[in-house]
Chain A
Amino acid sequence: MIVQTIVFYIFAGVTIGAAVMVVAARNPVHSVLFLILAFFNSAGLFVLMGAEFVAMILIIVYVGAVAVLFLFVVMMLDINFVELRQGFLQYLPIGGVIGLILMIELIMLLGAETVAIPKTLLATVPIPPIEDRTNTAAIGDVLYTKYIYAFQAAGMVLFTAMVGAIVLTLRERSGVRKQRISNQVSRRRAESVELKKVEPRDGL
C-alpha cells in the first residue's frame, strides 16, 4: 500500500510540474515535450486506478498522434510566441476571478450532500471486478452492444468533421504539376519517339 502511495505522489507531482512547464517554457518545442511528459505521467495515474485501457489510449492517441501533430504545427508554423504571451498579464485579473469563482463552486459541490445511487440503476450493466475481466474486455462487452447507438453517432460526428475540414481547407490550385498516371500509361510510342534521319557529317 505504501509503495502505491509513493508512486502516486511521484506521478502526480511530475504531472503537475510538467503541466506548469508547458505554460512556462520559453521554447514552444520544449512546451510540447513537457506536454508529452504530463501525458505519460497521467497514464501512470490511470494504471494506478486500475484503468489500464484508458492509460494505453492516452499514450497511443495523445502521445502518439496529438502531441506529434502539435510538434509538427509548432515547428512548421512561424508563430511569434513571445508576442502571443504579451496579453498574459492583461488577462490575468479576469482569468483569476473566473478561476476563483469556479474554485468556490467546486468546493460548494464537494460540500453538497452525496446521493446514494439506487441499486437498480447500477444493476443494468454491472461493472465486473478487475480480477474477473480486464478493462478492455469490459468496454468491449458494452461498446458494440449497449452503446452501439452512441458509437455509430460518434462515427457520424467524425465523418462530418472530416467533410467539414476538407470543405474549409481544400483548394484547387492552378499551375501545379501533378502526376497523371492515365496520361503516362496511355502514351504511345508514335507520339513520343521520333525517328530522324541524320546525314553523316551534317548534324541535326
Chain B
Amino acid sequence: MYSLPDLVPALPELWLAVAGMALLMVGVFSGNRSTHLLIWLSVVAIGSALILVLYVSPQSSNSITFSDMFIADRFAGFSKCLVLIGSALALVLSIGYLKTERIERFEYPVLLVLATLGMLMMVSANDLIALYLGLELQSLALYVLAAFRRESLRSTEAGLKYFVLGALSSGMLLYGCSLIYGFTGSTNFTAIASSIVASPTVGVGLIIGLVFVISGLAFKVSAVPFHMWTPDVYEGAPTPITAFFAIAPKIAALALFLRILVGPFLELAGDWQQVIIVISVASMLLGSLAAIWQTNIKRLMAYSSIGHMGYALIGLSAGTVEGVRGVLVYLVIYLAMNVGAFSVVLCMRRDGESVENIEDLSGLSQTNPMLALAMGVFMFSLAGVPPLAGFFAKFYVFMAAINSGLYVVAIIGVLASVIGAFYYVRIVKIMYFDEPRETFEKPIRRELSVTMAVAGVFSLFFFLYPGPIINQAQYAALSLFP
C-alpha cells in the first residue's frame, strides 16, 4: 500500500509554509504594531530555511520525493540559496520604508514569505503540475505586494497590470503544458525526457507546446518580447518590492528555465536554442537602448534588469554545462549588484518623501561622498567594467557562448553592454560632475548602509576569490545534466 513520502528533501519548503502561517497568526493577534517584529521573524524564518537547505536536506544527491513531483539536487540547492538570500535582503531593505511611508501592515512579511515558498517550489519542480503550482503561488503573492500601497494610484495600477498580464502568461504556460502532456503522455519531467528519447520523430505539437511554455516563462523573467509590464510595475510598486521583483522572482524563473529546458528537453536543444537566442538578443538590445531615455531611476533599473536577463539567457542558449554554470554565476553577481543599487535608491529621500528622478542624484559626490562612491561601484559593476564583479558575470556567459560556437550572439552581447555602459556611466557623471542639489536625508538607516557595504565589497573584490562560488555553480550545473 501507500507509504508516507520522504519529507526530508522538502523540509525547507515545509518549514517556510508552517512559518508563514504561524507568522500570520502572530500578526492577526497582535495587529499592525507587530510588523517590525514580524519582519525580523520572517528574516529568521528564511534564514533557518537557508540552513535547512544547506545542511539538512540531502542536496548532494538527487533526491526525488512526493511521487516524483519534487526534486532536491545541487542545482535546486544553489538556486534556493540565492532566492532565500534575495528574499531576506528584500525584507531587511523594507524595514525603514514601511515605517516612513506608513504602510506598516503585518501581511507584508507574510506575503513575502509565501512568495519565497512559491519560488522554492518552482526551483524544485520535477513535474509540470508542481511547476505551475509553484509559479502561481509566487505570482499571486507578488501581485498583491505590487499593489500594497492601496491608496497610491500608481501602485494599484502596477498591481492590476501585473495581474492581468500575469494571468495571460499563466494561460500560455498552461496551454503549453497541456500540449506537452498530450504529446508525451506524462507531466513528469523524467518521463517526458524518456518519452522524447524513445520516440523516433519529434511532433510539431510538442514543439508548439514547448514554445508556449518558453513564452510563459519569458514573461516571468521579463525577457523581450514579454517585457512590457516591467517598467510600469517597477515604477509603481513600493521601492523595496521593486528590489524584490528585480532579484528573487528573476532568479527563480531563470532557474526554472534552466531546469525545464536542460532537464527534460535537452534532446530538443536544437529547437529551443533558436528561440532562446532570439529572446536573449532582443532583451540585450532593448535593455540597453530603451534605458537611455529614462529619467526615473526605478524605470531605469527595470530596463537594466531586462538587459541583464538577456545576458544571462546567453548562457542558457549555449546549452552546455559551462553555459549553465555561467548563468548561475551571473545570478549570484546580479543579486549582489541589484541589492546594492536598490539600497542606494532607498536612500534617496528628501523632506520625508522618496525621490526617484535620476536628476536628483546630481552632485551627490559633494553632499554624500560615501553614497556616491557606493552607487558608482554598483553602476560600473552593472555596466560590466573590469575588474568589478559585473564584468566576470558577463565574461563567463560570453565565454560559454563562444565555446559552443555562438560567435554572433557573443559579439552582439558585447556591443549591447558597450551601449548599456552609456547610461550607467551617465549616472556616475551626474553624481560627480553636476551641480549639487539639496542633500538627501541623513543619517542613512543602519541596515541600508550594511547591505550597501556588503554588496559593494562583493562587487569590488569578487575577482580576488571567485573560486568557491564558481565551484558550487559548476557542481550545480553538472547535477542538472543527466
Contacts and interface: CB of A to CB of B under 8 A. Distances in A.
Interface of A: 105, 108-109, 112-113, 115, 117-118, 121-122, 145-150, 153-154, 156-157, 159-161, 163-164, 166-168, 171
A113 B203 contact: yes
A118 B141 contact: no
B66 A148 contact: yes
Nearest to A171: B150
B106 to A, nearest CB: 10
Nearest to B201: A113
B137 A108 contact: no
B8 interface: no
A164 B21 CA distance: 14
B17 A146 contact: no
A154 B135 CA distance: 11
A147 B2 CA distance: 12
A145 B184 CA distance: 23
A105 B205 CA distance: 10
7 contacts: A109-B179, A118-B194, A121-B186, A147-B129, A150-B133, A167-B105, A168-B144
Given A157-B133, A157-B140, A164-B141, A149 B203 contact: no
A159 B114 CA distance: 9
A167 B112 CA distance: 13
A149 B66 contact: yes
A156 B141 CA distance: 11
B411 to A, nearest CB: 35
Q: Which 8 A-B pairs have the closest CB atoms?
A: A117-B185, A164-B144, A149-B66, A153-B133, A145-B2, A167-B107, A149-B69, A146-B67
A156 B137 contact: yes
A159 B22 CA distance: 13
B150 A156 contact: no
Nearest to A119: B185
A153 to B, nearest CB: 4
Nearest to A166: B107
Contact of A118 (B2, B140, B198): B198
Contacts of A168: 144, 147, 150, 159
A157 B144 CA distance: 13
A160 B114 contact: yes
B5 interface: yes
Contacts of B203: 112-113, 115
B166 to A, nearest CB: 13
B137 A157 contact: yes
Contacts of A163: 24, 107, 110-111, 114, 144
B121 interface: yes
Main secondary structure on A side of the interface with B = helix
A132 B3 CA distance: 24
Contacts of B5: 148-149
A30 to B, nearest CB: 27
A150 B69 contact: yes
Nearest to B106: A167
B185 A118 contact: yes
A109 B208 contact: yes
Nearest to A152: B17
B161 to A, nearest CB: 15
A196 to B, nearest CB: 42
B143 interface: yes
A58 B214 CA distance: 32
B163 to A, nearest CB: 10
Interface string B297-323: 000000000000000000000000000
B89 to A, nearest CB: 22
B183 interface: yes
Interface in B208-236: 208
B111 A160 contact: yes
Contact of B111 (A108, A112, A145, A167): A167
Given A115-B199, A157-B140, A168-B144, A147 B67 contact: yes
A156 B20 CA distance: 10
B117 interface: yes
B424 interface: no
Most chain-B CB neighbours within 10 Å: which of A109, A115, A146, A161?
A115
Most chain-A CB neighbours within 10 Å: which of B67, B136, B195?
B67
Contacts of A108: 204
B134 interface: yes
B268 interface: no
B141 A121 contact: no
B414 to A, nearest CB: 37
A150 B5 CA distance: 13
B322 to A, nearest CB: 33
Given A109-B204, A115-B185, 9 more contacts: A109-B205, A118-B185, A145-B67, A147-B67, A147-B129, A153-B134, A156-B118, A160-B114, A164-B111
B452 interface: no
B70 interface: yes
Nearest to A172: B32
